[in-house]
Chain A
Amino acid sequence: MPRRTFLSTAMAGVGFVAAGLSSWPSQLLALTKAGAEGLVDQLVADINQVIATNKSEASKIRDFEQIFSRYADTAIMARYVLGADVRTASPAQLRAFTDAFEKYIANKYGRRFREFIGGTVTVTDSRQIKAGYEVKAIAKLKGEAPFGVSFLVSDKSGRGKFYNLFIEGVNMLLTERTEIGAIMDQNGGSIDKTTAALKR
């Protein structure tokens, strides 16, 4: 009966994978099963490299942010988490929001780097989905039962980038849409104030 708390597994996993995916190489256009495995192996090596450096946490998060903005499809992610509110946003507002969202994600998940020390992610399977590919993997963190992770990758941005992930069924984008929706509500539905709130 005592299940591992859902929050711990799910959230630790989200952080680990978000951190890792940020270093996803860009040549995903012709993704094959073997290619996908290689990519994830590569990304795990990259995360471990970031973790292993002696930089301060703040500087690691800055690194992470750069990697994230390069390898995550933040434009589509930002649009998704805004949901219906995207309709009222001007292009400039959307750009500012996307920028703030990028930093917010990098900071939120990057701060938990230390939980991922010694962790491994192993690709088990991949399949084509509507927008691109789903790459399934098993993550093993220290002191955790192994758990499943799915990476959703698309080249609709013009380059292979990840746009969502699932940790034990928890959809990162859906979860963040709930959170961004709450911040919007607290700010009277103002996208400018929400953008400002994300920067804090």
Chain B
Amino acid sequence: MHLWLSRLAALPAATVITLTAACTVPSEEHRASGEVFDPYENVNRKVHAFNIGVDKVIYRPAAKGYVFILPDEIRTSIGYFADNMSKPTDVVDFLAQGRIKEAVITVGRFLMNTTIGFGGLADPATEFGIPDLDTDFGEVLYTWGFDEGAYIELPFFGPSTERDSVGLAVDVFTNPLGYLEYGSNFQNLRYGSYILDRLNDRGTYSETIDTVLYESADSYAQARIIFLQNRRFELAGEGGDPYVDAYADPYADPYEDAYADPYADPYADIFDDPEATADRF
């Protein structure tokens, strides 16, 4: 135990300090504007084109084949397995956030599913009411107060931020089982099942994902806005700091203000006297 603990402490700490020191922070004005912070857009768009290519040629067809060939039950089982293999990492990341309760629940879940759940291929924990709590090192960094940084589209992994990219890298090292004697086997199983589970998701939600990737006018911008909103919601919840005020209602939209109340008569000529109704909202 001592071995992995000391390595665990040393490796990510060094990585975090090096990488987050390089995190880009938007100016106050930019932050206030609510615009997406994407200073690397040119590079990101190239990566996006690459990812689309990978999806077209490898990922999408492989995923379609995977869900076509394997029955639902087997894919679900592999999904449980992948989820279970990620739990030791989640425990470490919960502890790093000081969320002891979540860590304990997750240990219980992992032990139960690994034993009476046939090594994680089944999910008896859920039947017993033990919740499936997820976290990652990106969330740890969020909890520690690191800025989200710039938007980044990673090759293969897709949408991310600077903070989440660091988290992703650190999570390679936060699986305590990876430091056991046969740790590399655990890691291989973990990543293998993770990839299969991702294939399952890509195949199962094929039409939905295709809509975003292949039917959008700008799939890069769509993936970016959906990811950032969802990730911020995931981290901060509803009380958080989403890109725009989540409840900023279009009725109070600044573009509206200069015009008329569209409900008086939405199609009336409202351009004659913008002053007349400017303060209606």
Contact = CB atoms under 8 A, between A and B. Distances in A.
Contacts of B246: 166, 169, 171
B269 interface: yes
B202 A156 contact: no
B221 interface: yes
Contacts of B207: 111-112, 115
Interface stretch (A24-32, A42-50, A57-65, A175-183): A175-183
Nearest to A81: B250
Contacts of B223: 7
B74 interface: no
A8 B230 contact: no
A3 B235 CA distance: 13
Interface string B220-259: 0111011101111110001000111011011111011011
A130 B247 CA distance: 8
Contact of A179 (B216, B238, B263): B216
Contacts of A197: 217
Contacts of B231: 6
B267 interface: yes
A2 B208 contact: no
A5 B198 contact: yes
B152 interface: no
A79 interface: yes
What interface size band does chain A fall in? 35 or more
A153 to B, nearest CB: 11
Contacts of B202: 5
B249 A75 contact: no
Interface in B15-49: none
Interface in A66-124: 75-77, 79-80, 83-84, 86-87, 91, 94-95, 108, 111-112, 115
B262 interface: yes
A6 B226 contact: yes
B147 interface: no
Contacts of A169: 229-230, 232-234, 238, 242, 246
Given A6-B227, A7-B205, A134 B221 contact: no
Contact of B217 (A4, A6, A182): A182
Contact of A1 (B194, B244, B251, B255): B194
Contact of B230 (A75, A76, A157, A170): A170
Nearest to B269: A91
B268 interface: yes
A75 B207 CA distance: 28
Contacts of B166: none
B90 to A, nearest CB: 7
A109 B157 CA distance: 26
Interface string B192-215: 001001100110110111011001
Contacts of B197: 2
Contacts of B132: 145
B161 interface: no
B167 to A, nearest CB: 10
Interface stretch (B6-14, B81-89, B110-118, B180-188): B81-89
26 contacts: A1-B194, A2-B86, A4-B201, A5-B198, A6-B227, A6-B230, A11-B226, A15-B208, A77-B250, A87-B258, A94-B266, A115-B207, A130-B252, A156-B251, A164-B249, A166-B246, A169-B232, A169-B233, A174-B229, A175-B226, A175-B229, A178-B218, A179-B222, A182-B216, A182-B221, A185-B218
Interface of A: 1-12, 15, 75-77, 79-80, 83-84, 86-87, 91, 94-95, 108, 111-112, 115, 129-131, 134, 143, 145, 152, 154, 156-158, 163-164, 166, 168-171, 173-175, 178-179, 181-183, 185-186, 197
